[in-house]
Amino acid sequence: MPPLLLPATDPAAIEQAAQRLAAGALLGLPTETVYGLAADADNASAVQRIFAAKGRPSEHPLIVHLASGAGTQGWRAGVEHYARELPPFALALMQAFWPGPLTLILPRRPFVATSAAGGQDSIGLRCPAHPLAQALLAAAQAHGVRGVAAPSANRFGRVSPTTAQHVAQEFADLSDDELLILDGGACPVGIESTIVDCTRSQPVLLRPGVLTPAQLQAACGLALQVRDAGAPRASGTLESHYAPRARVRLMSAPQLQAALDLLGPAADQVAVYARAPLRPAPGLRLRRMPDDAAAAAQALFATLRELDATGVRLIWVETPPAGPAWDGVRDRLQRAAA
């Protein structure tokens, strides 16, 4: 049988999922960003099931998700379990944005979550804001699971899932003994978390998300540095990533219109995702991109999946506007088109 979807309205679903995680099984986990393919971060064989299911290289690190617990720093015990150091600026970022769409890379304690860290001496930690994710993390903690490794629940390099149905389609070859999926509805953020490297004396932005550099700098009181050769490996930072089967190309609105005017009968092989009003060619699949950056982020992966499912060969996307609010969307699209 294919993976089983457990509705969030089922009061037994959380406990069933937590027991399966504690037994070493995989779980499709909703978060506010995207759905994750989750396993006990301290169970090396369970973590290897993530890599095998995704087709992901085992040296490519995973993000560990922590329960928020009680109080404003309920996640502190989880951080102390995995991290050997917590710089003051990293703590300030946690206090400002956890639970939320922010992952921090910290120095890792020896012999802890080695497989999830991809063999690095650092570890990525996040405290998600989704209420179903937090309910699951708390229930799993009661079964001895200190943290949950959960990269996006898709085949490696492909478009991230933002609904439980996306996860089920992605892993239709896995049985319900191998994978359960908690259905928490559509993800409200829609793109992966911002990642900040906190292993050095200043914060370094490794992956943009919905949190802007100005927000991060204001919270921690330090200038945000740009990724360099000394940065640790992190999720979602490969040049080519988040890609549908159709080839993605970014274009300005004038370039899009000029290309559409030349299409002719090939229009049925092309889909367009744009903000600008365009004169569509007959047979063209055209979707409107929201003008608001947050709304565009929330819709991005679902739209790419929808257009890809039509069987088109090309997806032409209008280049997002300049400005930090659009950095996360621009980053995902540039990697999808790489």
Kindly provide the b/e burial profile for residues 91-126, where b requires at least 16 CB atoms within 10 angstroms of the residue's own CB.
Answer: bbbbeebbbbbbbbbbbbeeebbbbbbbebebbbbb
CA distance linking residue 303 with residue 163, whole number of Å: 12
In the predicted model, what is the mean pLDDT of the chain? Answer: 94
Written as one letter, the residue type at 182 is L
Check if CATH label 3.90.1150.10 holds for domain 4-226: no
Model confidence pLDDT, tens digit, residues 249-280: 999 999 999 999 998 888 899 999 999 999 88
- State the span(s) of the chain assigned CATH 3.90.870.10: 4-226
Kindly provide the b/e burial profile for residues 8-28, where b requires at least 16 CB atoms within 10 angstroms of the residue's own CB.
Answer: beeeebbbbbbebbbeebbbb
Model confidence pLDDT, tens digit, residues 81-101: 999 999 999 999 999 999 999
Return the pLDDT at 69: 81
When computed from its CA atoms, the radius of gyration of the chain, rounded to whole angstroms, is 20
85, 79, 82: which is closest to 114 by C-alpha? 82
Pairing status of strand 26-29 against strand 36-40: antiparallel
Helix (H) or strand (E) holding 89: helix 88-97
Which position has the token pair 């389609």?
169
pLDDT confidence of 72, banded at 50, 70, 90? low
Structural contact between residues 211 and 102, judged by C-beta atoms closer than 8 angstroms: yes
Q: φ, ψ for residue 296 (rounded to 5)?
A: -65, -40
CA distance linking residue 261 with residue 190, whole number of Å: 32
Model confidence pLDDT, tens digit, residues 26-70: 999 999 999 999 999 999 999 999 999 999 988 999 999 999 986
pTM value > 0.85: yes
Pair of tokens at residue 224? 């945000």
Return the pLDDT at 70: 65
